[in-house]
Chain A
Amino acid sequence: MQLLARDRQDDGKAGWVAAAARCAARGPLPLHLQGVLAVLSERLRAVLAGALAAEPAVAATIEEVRLRAGCPLFLRWGGGEGAVVRLTGGRIGVVAAGRTVDAETAGSVAVSPGVLPIGPSVDLVRSAAPLRAVAPPAACAAIAPVIVEPEDIARTLELATSCSLYAVEDQLRRGFLRVRGGHRIGVVGTAVTANGAVTSLREVSGLAIRVARDVAGAADAVVPFVAGPGPEEVNSTIVLSPPGCGKTTLLRDLVRQLSRGGVPEGFGGVAVAVVDERSEVGACWEGRPQFDLGPRTDVLDACPKAEGMLMVVRSMAPRVVATDEIGRAADAEAVREAAHAGVAVLATAHARDARDAERRPVLRALLAAGSFQRVVVLGERLGRGTVDAILDGAGRALVRGPLPPGGAGGAGGCG
């Protein structure tokens, strides 16, 4: 942990250590992590709970838990990834993967018993063999990665679906499951097809649990450019970034702040309708959003975006329609329709930056037509949720980043 923490500080990612310490001081695991643990098989649950307790730094910024049959249990956290290992004496630790530290130098570095640097490649961790040769010999007499068994995957799948694969048929067909708390589980296995279309998956061999985290204040830097200047005026905004940079987290906080009003000064709050096709923004469970989306927000859950946007514009008379990850031609059509109806649109899309977005036909057409008055580009330079730039509809920069992530976000918030 010390090693990891120092790296982060060297990269200018301050605040991270303090956040980790806060997490550790808080005692029991934060709620969103308990939700993740609840869907893991009993064996892996104990292992991961041990690993997170041993590594508060990892627990504070964990983004993904990966289960692959026959491979070690992998974690991805803010800026790193590694395997969960069993150390001497049955303790659990995390080995950061992909770092080159040879045995001599590692021996002289203060290595906490939890995180051991190994290198040079992930393959070393992948092989089930003990890592004795790679890690400093004194620190780890016998380190064995915790291997995910096929039974773990079967049981995790059962827990994630409450023993009811039939109830999640439609989700499974698209390759992912939603679980309570808004976490998303990507699923791979052998696809079963009928007439060329995927009907279901069998022999599931891998699961990727993406940890959903609600960060209040993630949109603080962005809100002044999106809301106002009038008490009910909102600029249509698109958020661009590569996967995993905090688009959805930003959108969620943006929705909440617009719905609540009060920021910026004189902005009264407006009715927001969220079309939540993948149930990531509101994380609805049994019909109710699990995340606070503000007092003037209506959520249309699990509805296809294009159809849903038109539905809510007609039925709920919102001032703002928000949706996650647009990209198909039908989505663009719906955005234009909404704009014609005088409704502002908040959307996100996968793209590295504004120039990359220009290369995609659907996004280019939308940007060229002036459908969005604001373009927010997110990156990872100062941690997850860094605002790289805010542009206006014509591509002029209003803000040049990088601005640090808002709230307790990329800096490693626990909530």
Chain B
Amino acid sequence: MWVKLCGAALVFAASTALGQVIAGNIAARPRHLCDLVSALEILGTEIAYAARPLPQALRGAGDGVDGPVGTLLLRAAELVETRPAAVGWRQALAESSRRLALVQKDVGALMALAPVLGRSDRNDQVRHLRLAIERLKRLEVEAEAARARGEQVWRYLGPLCGLGAAVLLL
């Protein structure tokens, strides 16, 4: 009996945790997108007004935001010093994808910057950054809607499913 009870408790706990993680991801996505938007805004300013070389500009943008988005930019700054900008940016994105609660579409918007970064004059750089920012903002609205729908659902669904499974098992 005790063994059964312990097993049921474990099932409940695991299910609850899973629900929390999924809900956390859903809640984190709009936050990360928002951070990305501000980071790219800073990057645009660094490029347009200070004409700072890409590694410094990325570092400036990375210092400007906290959390995984800041880490992403700092890592990219580090990478573009030793390899082509496109490769460095892609690699930084790939390395940070686990820490970022982004979906395929969001990553696609960021990847679109890879062939562009640093490869044209200031106006063009700013135009491309603007485009990416607009895409990210649209995705942020979408992510916010998804959060409003999904976050609470998953927070309750996790423990409830766990409870159901535990009852069945007992």
User: Which chain A residues have a beta carbon within 8 Å of chain B's beta carbons?
Assistant: 155, 158, 161-167, 169, 199-200
Contacts and interface: CB of A to CB of B under 8 A. Distances in A.
19 contacts: A158-B84, A158-B85, A162-B80, A163-B54, A163-B85, A163-B117, A163-B118, A163-B119, A164-B118, A165-B121, A166-B120, A166-B121, A166-B124, A166-B125, A167-B51, A167-B52, A167-B54, A169-B51, A200-B121
Contacts of B121: 165-166, 169, 199-200
B54 A169 contact: no
Contacts of A169: 51, 121-122
A161 B84 CA distance: 11
Contacts of A158: 84-85, 118
Contact of A165 (B52, B55, B84, B118): B118
B57 interface: yes
B84 A164 contact: no
Contacts of B40: none
Q: Which of A158, A167, A200 has the most CB of B within 10 A?
A: A167
A166 B124 CA distance: 9
B78 to A, nearest CB: 12
A164 B120 contact: no
Nearest to B125: A166
B53 A163 contact: yes
Interface in B79-138: 80-81, 84-85, 88, 117-122, 124-125
B33 interface: no
B43 to A, nearest CB: 12
B120 A165 contact: yes
Contacts of A162: 53-55, 80-81, 118
B92 to A, nearest CB: 13
A299 B125 CA distance: 32
A163 B86 CA distance: 9
B84 A166 contact: no
Q: Which of B51, B121, B122 has the most CB of A within 10 A?
A: B121
B53 A161 contact: yes
Nearest 5 CB-CB pairings of A with B:
A163-B85, A163-B118, A164-B53, A162-B53, A164-B54
Nearest to B48: A166
A165 B124 CA distance: 11
Interface string B15-28: 00000000000000
A163 B120 contact: no
A117 B53 CA distance: 43
Interface string B46-60: 010001111101000
Contacts of A199: 121
Contacts of B53: 161-164, 167
B91 to A, nearest CB: 13
B85 to A, nearest CB: 4
B55 A163 contact: yes
B84 A163 contact: yes
Nearest to A199: B121
A166 B55 contact: no
Nearest to B124: A166
A249 B54 CA distance: 32
A372 B125 CA distance: 48
Contacts of B51: 164, 166-167, 169
Contacts of B124: 166
Contacts of A165: 118-121
Q: Which of B52, B53, B81, B125 has the most CB of A within 10 A?
A: B53
Nearest to A162: B53
A302 to B, nearest CB: 13
Nearest to A41: B84
Contacts of A155: 84
Nearest to A170: B51
A328 to B, nearest CB: 26
A165 B116 CA distance: 11
A166 B122 contact: yes
Interface string B134-162: 00000000000000000000000000000
B58 to A, nearest CB: 10
Nearest to A172: B121
Nearest to A192: B121
Nearest to B123: A166
A284 to B, nearest CB: 15
Given A167-B47, A200-B121, 6 more contacts: A161-B118, A163-B80, A165-B121, A166-B51, A166-B125, A169-B122
A166 B85 contact: no
Nearest to B117: A163
Contacts of B119: 163, 165
A392 to B, nearest CB: 46
A167 B88 CA distance: 18
B98 to A, nearest CB: 25
A209 to B, nearest CB: 19
A56 B78 CA distance: 35
A62 B80 CA distance: 30
Nearest to B51: A167
Contacts of B117: 163
A372 B119 CA distance: 46
A158 B115 CA distance: 13
A187 to B, nearest CB: 14
A272 to B, nearest CB: 30
A163 B53 CA distance: 7
